[in-house]
Amino acid sequence: MCGIVGLFAKTERLQPELGAHLAQMLAIMSDRGPDSAGFAVYSAPVPGAIKLTLRAPEGYDFEAMASRLGGALGAVPNITVRATHAVLAIPAGTLASAKSWLAEHAPEASIVGIGETMEIYKEVGLPAKVAERFGLAAMAGTHGIGHTRMATESAVTTKGAHPFSTGPDQCLVHNGSLSNHNGLRRTLMREGLSFETDNDSEVAAAYLTAQIKGGKSLGEALEASLEDLDGFFTFVVGTGTGFGVLRDPIACKPAVMAETEDYVAFGSEYRALAVLPGIESANVWEPEPAKVYFWEKAA
């Protein structure tokens, strides 16, 4: 099953309350995915820095690790710890050396996402609990996407939870199941991509990453997925500037969208959107199968 939500603030006035809305939407989608939950929030960038979201086992000392990393980089990273996750803002030019330092000196901490604005949090447990642990309700941002998981293709683990990062400031949430993910994973591994799970959605994320690395735009990569991915899916893809939606041509997996002057919202079911302000007068519709939709902030 699984539930997906997305919220994109068209106006500044919605931005401070973005996380509060997203948290409510996630909690309502618990019926569709009580195993685990995750979300990506696109919040204010740190000037000159790039944000790394790291995940580590319960009780991990992120602060100590950050100061050791700071010593190696010659610049102390700005760190925000939230339960099992931490966001490190490091000077943009030091990303490559930070990644290799982390791989060598902090193997318990894995990188969940990288970007100027994107932060990703995911954990096993009821969606409302997960949102509470990370303090989602207090987060501000321009847009965010979230996922509630009912595992079908692989184990209930934090690694198997969504969103999956597909590139800098880019991530994917998926509702559905892919039937050709094993073959596709082997192909992508030959092309040099690495995988952390047996999860089909991770393959979808890696597929999009590979397509984008090959020169396609995100929209083109999504179009290509209609040819190459076999199975059921509704995807919501978060990017630095907004989010995209795609349903497979058979469109078994549900999707509802709503738009007002203040926001564009996505939900697996209308119930998830019913909590949003002004929803009574919103334009509400079902996205068409096999059609790529994008909402982005004006440049």
Partner 1 sequence: MTAMVEPAVFDLATTPLRELNRTLHALRPDTNMRHWRVINPAGRHAIACGLDAPITVEIEGHAGYYCAGHNKQATVIVHGNAGVGVAENMMSGFVHVKGDASQSAGASAHGGLLLIEGNAAARCGISLKGADIIVKGSVGHMSAFMAQAGTLIVFGDAGEALGDSIYEARLFVRGSVASLGADCIAKEMRDEHRALLAGKLEAAGLAGEVDISEFTRYGSARRLYNFHIDNAGAY
Within 241-260, the residues that bind partner 1 by CB under 8 A are 249, 251, 254, 256
> Could you tell me the smallest distance in angstroms from the CB atom of residue 287 to partner 1?
10
> What is the maximum span of the chain, computed from C-alpha positions, in angstroms?
54
End-to-end CA distance of the chain: 36
Q: Give the DSSP per-residue string, 44-110.
A: PPPTTEEEEEEE--TT--HHHHHHHHHHHHTSPPEEEEETTEEEEEEEGGGHHHHHHHHHHH-TT-E
Near partner 1 by CB under 8 A, which window of 12-20, 142-150, 218-226, 283-291?
Answer: 283-291
Q: Return the residue of 17, 132, 259, 269 that touches partner 1, per CB under 8 A.
A: 269
Q: Is 277 in the site for partner 1 (CB under 8 A)?
A: no
> Could you tell me the smallest distance in angstroms from the CB atom of residue 146 to partner 1?
17
- For residues 65 and 111, what is the distance between their CA atoms, to the nearest angstrom? 14
Q: Is 232 in the site for partner 1 (CB under 8 A)?
A: no
Please list the active-site residues. Answer: 2
**Looking at beta carbons only, is 46 or 255 nearer to partner 1?**
255
Give the count of residues interacting with partner 1 (CB under 8 A). 17
> Could you tell me the smallest distance in angstroms from the CB atom of residue 137 to partner 1?
20
Within 88-127, the residues that bind partner 1 by CB under 8 A are none
Q: Is 274 in the site for partner 1 (CB under 8 A)?
A: yes
Residue recorded with tokens 């184990």: 155
Amino acid at 107: P
Strand (E) or helix (H) holding 144: strand 143-149
Q: Is 226 in the site for partner 1 (CB under 8 A)?
A: no
Contacts of 42 (CB under 8 A, 6+ apart): 115, 117, 118, 119, 141, 142, 143, 144, 169, 238, 240
- For residues 276 and 256, what is the distance between their CA atoms, to the nearest angstrom? 13
Q: Return the residue of 126, 135, 289, 294 that touches partner 1, per CB under 8 A.
A: 289
**Looking at beta carbons only, is 132 or 269 nearer to partner 1?**
269
Q: Return the residue of 103, 182, 288, 297 that touches partner 1, per CB under 8 A.
A: 288
> Could you tell me the smallest distance in angstroms from the CB atom of residue 86 to partner 1?
36
> Could you tell me the smallest distance in angstroms from the CB atom of residue 296 to partner 1?
25
Strand arrangement of the beta sheet that strand 118-124 belongs to: 118-124, 36-42, 143-149, 3-9, 263-267, 256-259, 283-285
- For residues 85 and 83, what is the distance between their CA atoms, to the nearest angstrom? 6
Q: Is 271 in the site for partner 1 (CB under 8 A)?
A: yes
Q: Is 286 in the site for partner 1 (CB under 8 A)?
A: yes
Residues in touch with partner 1 (CB under 8 A): 249, 251, 254, 256, 269-275, 280, 284-286, 288-289
